[in-house]
Protein backbone atom coordinates (compact mmCIF):
# COMPACT_ATOMS: atom_id res chain seq x y z
CA UNK A 1 0.00 0.00 0.00
CA UNK A 2 1.28 3.47 -0.90
CA UNK A 3 2.38 5.57 2.07
CA UNK A 4 -0.06 8.37 1.28
CA UNK A 5 0.96 10.44 4.30
CA UNK A 6 4.63 10.64 3.23
CA UNK A 7 3.73 11.60 -0.34
CA UNK A 8 1.36 14.31 0.89
CA UNK A 9 3.89 15.66 3.39
CA UNK A 10 6.64 15.81 0.74
CA UNK A 11 4.31 17.60 -1.67
CA UNK A 12 3.10 20.10 0.91
CA UNK A 13 6.70 20.95 1.77
CA UNK A 14 7.48 21.59 -1.91
CA UNK A 15 4.33 23.65 -2.47
CA UNK A 16 4.83 25.70 0.70
CA UNK A 17 8.39 26.31 -0.50
CA UNK A 18 6.79 27.69 -3.69
CA UNK A 19 4.64 30.07 -1.62
CA UNK A 20 1.46 28.03 -1.29
CA UNK A 21 0.60 28.60 2.37
CA UNK A 22 -3.12 28.67 3.11
CA UNK A 23 -4.28 29.63 -0.39
CA UNK A 24 -7.76 31.14 -0.63
CA UNK A 25 -8.72 28.58 -3.25
CA UNK A 26 -7.45 25.20 -4.45
CA UNK A 27 -8.47 24.29 -7.95
CA UNK A 28 -8.44 21.03 -9.90
CA UNK A 29 -8.69 21.52 -13.67
CA UNK A 30 -10.17 18.73 -15.76
CA UNK A 31 -9.77 17.54 -19.36
CA UNK A 32 -9.11 20.42 -21.75
CA UNK A 33 -9.37 23.02 -18.94
CA UNK A 34 -5.69 23.42 -18.08
CA UNK A 35 -5.57 26.76 -19.92
CA UNK A 36 -7.40 28.34 -16.98
CA UNK A 37 -4.11 28.13 -15.06
CA UNK A 38 -2.57 30.34 -17.78
CA UNK A 39 -4.67 33.23 -16.42
CA UNK A 40 -2.83 33.05 -13.09
CA UNK A 41 -0.20 35.63 -12.20
CA UNK A 42 3.11 35.47 -10.34
CA UNK A 43 3.20 31.73 -10.81
CA UNK A 44 5.60 29.06 -9.63
CA UNK A 45 5.11 25.57 -11.02
CA UNK A 46 5.75 22.31 -9.21
CA UNK A 47 5.51 19.36 -11.53
CA UNK A 48 4.09 16.11 -10.24
CA UNK A 49 7.27 14.24 -11.20
CA UNK A 50 9.21 16.45 -8.72
CA UNK A 51 7.15 15.03 -5.85
CA UNK A 52 8.53 11.71 -4.60
CA UNK A 53 5.88 9.00 -4.79
CA UNK A 54 3.32 11.13 -6.68
CA UNK A 55 1.29 8.88 -9.00
CA UNK A 56 2.12 9.51 -12.67
CA UNK A 57 -0.70 10.32 -15.14
CA UNK A 58 -0.88 8.52 -18.45
CA UNK A 59 -3.65 10.40 -20.29
CA UNK A 60 -3.24 12.96 -23.06
CA UNK A 61 -4.32 16.39 -21.81
CA UNK A 62 -3.75 15.44 -18.18
CA UNK A 63 -0.09 16.13 -17.40
CA UNK A 64 0.16 16.90 -13.70
CA UNK A 65 1.44 20.29 -12.59
CA UNK A 66 0.64 22.35 -9.49
CA UNK A 67 0.56 26.06 -10.29
CA UNK A 68 1.00 28.39 -7.32
CA UNK A 69 0.09 32.04 -7.82
CA UNK A 70 -2.80 34.47 -7.84
CA UNK A 71 -5.99 34.83 -9.82
CA UNK A 72 -7.86 38.10 -9.50
CA UNK A 73 -5.43 38.97 -6.70
CA UNK A 74 -6.44 35.92 -4.62
CA UNK A 75 -3.91 33.23 -3.73
CA UNK A 76 -4.65 30.06 -5.66
CA UNK A 77 -3.04 26.65 -6.05
CA UNK A 78 -4.25 24.94 -9.21
CA UNK A 79 -3.66 21.36 -10.22
CA UNK A 80 -3.74 20.95 -13.94
CA UNK A 81 -3.92 17.32 -15.02
CA UNK A 82 -5.44 14.79 -12.69
CA UNK A 83 -5.15 11.06 -12.26
CA UNK A 84 -8.05 8.68 -12.83
CA UNK A 85 -9.04 5.30 -11.47
CA UNK A 86 -9.04 3.77 -14.94
CA UNK A 87 -5.28 4.29 -15.13
CA UNK A 88 -5.02 1.54 -12.54
CA UNK A 89 -4.31 3.60 -9.43
CA UNK A 90 -5.34 2.10 -6.11
CA UNK A 91 -8.27 3.90 -4.42
CA UNK A 92 -6.15 5.58 -1.73
CA UNK A 93 -3.68 6.77 -4.39
CA UNK A 94 -6.52 8.47 -6.27
CA UNK A 95 -7.05 10.65 -3.22
CA UNK A 96 -3.45 11.94 -3.10
CA UNK A 97 -3.81 15.07 -5.31
CA UNK A 98 -6.83 16.35 -3.37
CA UNK A 99 -5.18 15.39 -0.05
CA UNK A 100 -2.22 17.58 -1.00
CA UNK A 101 -4.40 20.55 -1.97
CA UNK A 102 -6.61 20.23 1.11
CA UNK A 103 -3.62 19.86 3.44
CA UNK A 104 -2.73 23.43 2.38
CA UNK A 105 -6.02 24.43 4.06
CA UNK A 106 -7.76 26.42 1.31
CA UNK A 107 -11.15 28.00 2.04
CA UNK A 108 -12.65 25.89 -0.73
CA UNK A 109 -11.67 23.22 -3.23
CA UNK A 110 -13.04 23.94 -6.70
CA UNK A 111 -13.12 20.90 -8.93
CA UNK A 112 -13.85 20.93 -12.64
CA UNK A 113 -14.41 18.13 -15.10
CA UNK A 114 -15.88 17.13 -18.44
CA UNK A 115 -19.06 15.09 -18.26
CA UNK A 116 -21.67 13.50 -20.46
CA UNK A 117 -25.11 15.09 -20.14
CA UNK A 118 -27.93 12.71 -19.19
CA UNK A 119 -30.71 15.13 -18.25
CA UNK A 120 -32.45 16.25 -21.44
CA UNK A 121 -31.78 19.95 -20.99
CA UNK A 122 -28.02 19.48 -20.58
CA UNK A 123 -26.35 20.07 -23.93
CA UNK A 124 -22.69 20.16 -24.98
CA UNK A 125 -21.09 23.42 -23.91
CA UNK A 126 -23.30 23.83 -20.82
CA UNK A 127 -21.75 24.35 -17.40
CA UNK A 128 -23.33 22.34 -14.57
CA UNK A 129 -22.81 23.18 -10.92
CA UNK A 130 -22.58 19.92 -8.98
CA UNK A 131 -25.32 19.79 -6.34
CA UNK A 132 -24.43 16.30 -5.14
CA UNK A 133 -22.88 13.08 -6.45
CA UNK A 134 -23.45 9.36 -6.79
CA UNK A 135 -20.33 7.22 -6.55
CA UNK A 136 -20.83 4.28 -8.93
CA UNK A 137 -17.24 3.01 -8.74
CA UNK A 138 -17.74 0.88 -5.61
CA UNK A 139 -14.39 2.23 -4.47
CA UNK A 140 -13.45 4.96 -2.02
CA UNK A 141 -10.21 6.93 -1.64
CA UNK A 142 -10.76 6.48 2.11
CA UNK A 143 -10.24 2.70 1.91
CA UNK A 144 -7.30 1.50 3.98
CA UNK A 145 -6.02 2.82 7.29
CA UNK A 146 -7.68 6.05 8.37
CA UNK A 147 -5.37 8.94 9.21
CA UNK A 148 -7.22 10.44 12.16
CA UNK A 149 -5.44 13.80 11.83
CA UNK A 150 -7.19 14.21 8.47
CA UNK A 151 -10.70 13.17 9.43
CA UNK A 152 -12.92 10.50 10.96
CA UNK A 153 -13.13 6.84 9.92
CA UNK A 154 -16.77 7.14 8.89
CA UNK A 155 -17.22 10.69 7.62
CA UNK A 156 -20.61 12.22 6.93
CA UNK A 157 -21.20 12.98 3.24
CA UNK A 158 -24.49 14.87 3.50
CA UNK A 159 -22.99 18.29 2.75
CA UNK A 160 -20.06 17.77 0.39
CA UNK A 161 -21.07 20.72 -1.85
CA UNK A 162 -22.41 23.17 0.75
CA UNK A 163 -25.42 25.30 -0.14
CA UNK A 164 -23.67 28.52 0.92
CA UNK A 165 -20.86 27.92 -1.59
CA UNK A 166 -23.28 26.92 -4.35
CA UNK A 167 -25.31 30.07 -3.68
CA UNK A 168 -22.12 32.08 -4.08
CA UNK A 169 -21.27 30.37 -7.38
CA UNK A 170 -24.79 30.87 -8.74
CA UNK A 171 -24.68 34.54 -7.77
CA UNK A 172 -21.27 34.93 -9.43
CA UNK A 173 -22.63 33.23 -12.55
CA UNK A 174 -25.60 35.54 -12.89
CA UNK A 175 -23.50 38.62 -12.10
CA UNK A 176 -21.05 37.71 -14.85
CA UNK A 177 -23.70 36.59 -17.35
CA UNK A 178 -22.51 32.97 -17.48
CA UNK A 179 -25.43 30.50 -17.78
CA UNK A 180 -25.09 27.82 -15.11
CA UNK A 181 -27.12 24.65 -14.83
CA UNK A 182 -27.15 22.51 -11.68
CA UNK A 183 -27.42 18.78 -11.16
CA UNK A 184 -26.21 15.50 -9.74
CA UNK A 185 -22.90 14.11 -11.00
CA UNK A 186 -22.43 10.35 -11.30
CA UNK A 187 -18.91 8.94 -11.15
CA UNK A 188 -17.96 5.79 -13.03
CA UNK A 189 -14.53 4.19 -13.15
CA UNK A 190 -14.26 4.08 -16.97
CA UNK A 191 -12.23 4.04 -19.19
CA UNK A 192 -15.01 2.75 -21.45
CA UNK A 193 -17.90 5.10 -22.00
CA UNK A 194 -21.28 3.84 -20.80
CA UNK A 195 -23.77 1.65 -22.62
CA UNK A 196 -27.18 3.16 -23.40
CA UNK A 197 -28.69 0.79 -20.79
CA UNK A 198 -26.29 2.09 -18.16
CA UNK A 199 -27.28 5.66 -19.01
CA UNK A 200 -30.98 4.78 -18.69
CA UNK A 201 -30.22 3.24 -15.28
CA UNK A 202 -28.35 6.35 -14.18
CA UNK A 203 -31.18 8.59 -15.32
CA UNK A 204 -33.58 6.52 -13.22
CA UNK A 205 -31.22 6.96 -10.25
CA UNK A 206 -31.43 10.74 -10.52
CA UNK A 207 -28.04 11.30 -12.12
CA UNK A 208 -27.88 14.31 -14.46
CA UNK A 209 -24.34 14.01 -15.83
CA UNK A 210 -21.70 11.29 -15.81
CA UNK A 211 -17.92 11.36 -15.72
CA UNK A 212 -14.83 9.51 -14.56
CA UNK A 213 -13.36 11.85 -11.95
CA UNK A 214 -14.07 14.40 -9.22
CA UNK A 215 -15.84 12.16 -6.72
CA UNK A 216 -12.67 10.69 -5.15
CA UNK A 217 -11.38 14.26 -4.76
CA UNK A 218 -14.66 15.51 -3.30
CA UNK A 219 -14.77 12.61 -0.82
CA UNK A 220 -11.22 13.34 0.34
CA UNK A 221 -11.92 17.08 0.72
CA UNK A 222 -15.08 16.41 2.68
CA UNK A 223 -13.18 13.95 4.88
CA UNK A 224 -10.71 16.76 5.63
CA UNK A 225 -13.46 19.31 6.31
CA UNK A 226 -12.89 21.37 3.16
CA UNK A 227 -16.01 22.50 1.26
CA UNK A 228 -16.18 21.58 -2.41
CA UNK A 229 -17.52 23.47 -5.41
CA UNK A 230 -17.77 21.31 -8.52
CA UNK A 231 -18.47 22.39 -12.07
CA UNK A 232 -18.95 20.00 -14.99
CA UNK A 233 -18.47 21.09 -18.55
CA UNK A 234 -21.02 19.09 -20.51
CA UNK A 235 -18.87 17.87 -23.39
CA UNK A 236 -21.33 15.47 -25.01
CA UNK A 237 -24.73 13.91 -24.70
CA UNK A 238 -24.35 10.63 -22.82
CA UNK A 239 -24.29 7.31 -24.68
CA UNK A 240 -27.36 6.46 -26.71
CA UNK A 241 -28.87 9.95 -26.46
CA UNK A 242 -27.63 11.61 -29.64
CA UNK A 243 -27.21 8.71 -32.06
CA UNK A 244 -23.48 9.50 -32.23
CA UNK A 245 -20.51 7.54 -30.93
CA UNK A 246 -18.42 9.06 -28.13
CA UNK A 247 -14.80 10.07 -28.68
CA UNK A 248 -12.19 11.50 -26.30
CA UNK A 249 -11.22 14.15 -28.90
CA UNK A 250 -14.77 15.47 -28.89
CA UNK A 251 -14.64 15.72 -25.08
CA UNK A 252 -11.38 17.70 -25.19
CA UNK A 253 -12.69 20.03 -27.91
CA UNK A 254 -16.01 20.86 -26.22
CA UNK A 255 -14.26 21.42 -22.89
CA UNK A 256 -11.81 23.87 -24.42
CA UNK A 257 -14.62 26.04 -25.83
CA UNK A 258 -16.83 25.99 -22.74
CA UNK A 259 -13.66 26.33 -20.68
CA UNK A 260 -13.44 30.00 -21.59
CA UNK A 261 -16.82 30.59 -19.93
CA UNK A 262 -15.75 28.45 -17.00
CA UNK A 263 -12.66 30.68 -16.65
CA UNK A 264 -14.91 33.75 -16.42
CA UNK A 265 -17.09 32.00 -13.87
CA UNK A 266 -14.10 31.10 -11.69
CA UNK A 267 -12.84 34.68 -11.82
CA UNK A 268 -16.29 35.88 -10.77
CA UNK A 269 -16.34 33.48 -7.81
CA UNK A 270 -12.87 34.63 -6.75
CA UNK A 271 -14.03 38.22 -7.06
CA UNK A 272 -16.89 37.45 -4.66
CA UNK A 273 -14.53 36.19 -1.97
CA UNK A 274 -13.61 39.69 -0.78
Q: By CB under 6 A, name the binding residues for ligand HPA.
A: 114-116, 193-194, 210-212, 235-236, 238, 246, 251
Q: Which of these, 243, 236, 239, lies nearest to 258 by C-alpha position?
A: 236
Q: What angle do CA 138, 157, 63 make, to 5 degrees?
A: 60
Cβ proximity to ligand HPA: between 85 and 227 the closer is 85
Indicate which residue of 212, 224, 239, 258 is catalytic.
212
The answer to whether 40 is a known catalytic residue is no
The answer to whether 87 is a known catalytic residue is yes
Give CA–CA dist 134/157, Å, rounded: 11
Residue ranges with strand state E in 20-119 = 25-29, 41-47, 65-71, 74-80, 108-117
Indicate which residue of 16, 18, 35, 86 is catalytic.
86
Cβ proximity to ligand HPA: between 20 and 238 the closer is 238
Write down the least CB distance from residue 246 to ligand HPA, Å: 6
Write down the least CB distance from residue 255 to ligand HPA, Å: 8
**Strand partners of residue 183:** 130
The answer to whether 54 is a known catalytic residue is no
Cβ proximity to ligand HPA: between 172 and 239 the closer is 239
DSSP 8-state code for residue 21: S
Indicate which residue of 10, 107, 176, 248 is catalytic.
248
Cβ proximity to ligand HPA: between 59 and 147 the closer is 59
Write down the least CB distance from residue 22 to ligand HPA, Å: 32
Write down the least CB distance from residue 104 to ligand HPA, Å: 27
The answer to whether 236 is a known catalytic residue is yes
The answer to whether 222 is a known catalytic residue is no
- CB contact at 8 A, 94 and 207: no
Give CA–CA dist 181/119, Å, rounded: 11
The answer to whether 135 is a known catalytic residue is no
DSSP 8-state code for residue 201: H
Q: Which of these, 105, 62, 64, lies nearest to 191 by C-alpha position?
A: 62
Catalytic residue IDs: 31, 62, 84, 86-87, 114, 212-213, 236, 248
Amino acid sequence: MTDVLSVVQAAVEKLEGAGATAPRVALILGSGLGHIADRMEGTTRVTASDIPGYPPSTVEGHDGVFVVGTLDGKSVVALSGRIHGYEGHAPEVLGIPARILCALEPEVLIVTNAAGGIRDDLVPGDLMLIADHVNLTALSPLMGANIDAWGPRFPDMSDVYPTSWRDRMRAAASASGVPLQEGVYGCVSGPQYETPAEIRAMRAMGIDAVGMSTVPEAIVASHMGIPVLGVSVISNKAAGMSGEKLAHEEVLEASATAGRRLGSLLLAVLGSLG
